[in-house]
Amino acid sequence: DAGVTQSPTHLIKTRGQQVTLRCSPKSGHDTVSWYQQALGQGPQFIFQYYEEEERQRGNFPDRFSGHQFPNYSSELNVNALLLGDSALYLCASSWGWETQYFGPGTRLLVL
Partner 1 sequence: GENVEQHPSTLSVQEGDSAVIKCTYSDSASNYFPWYKQELGKRPQLIIDIRSNVGEKKDQRIAVTLNKTAKHFSLHITETQPEDSAVYFCAASAASGNTGKLIFGQGTTLQVKP
Q: Is residue 105 a contact point for partner 1 (CB under 8 A)?
A: yes
HEC states along the chain?
CCCCEEECCEEEECCCCCEEEEEECCCCCCEEEEEEECCCCCCEEEEEEECCEEEEECCCCCCEEEEECCCCCEEEEECCCCHHHCEEEEEEEECCCCCCEECCCEEEEEC
Q: Is residue 101 a contact point for partner 1 (CB under 8 A)?
A: yes
Site for partner 1 (CB under 8 A): which residue of 19, 43, 76, 78? Answer: 43
Q: Is residue 90 a contact point for partner 1 (CB under 8 A)?
A: yes
Q: How far is the CB of 75 from partner 1 (least distance, A)?
A: 19
Contact footprint for partner 1 (CB under 8 A) = 4, 31, 33, 35, 40-45, 48, 50-51, 55-56, 58, 90, 92, 94, 96-105
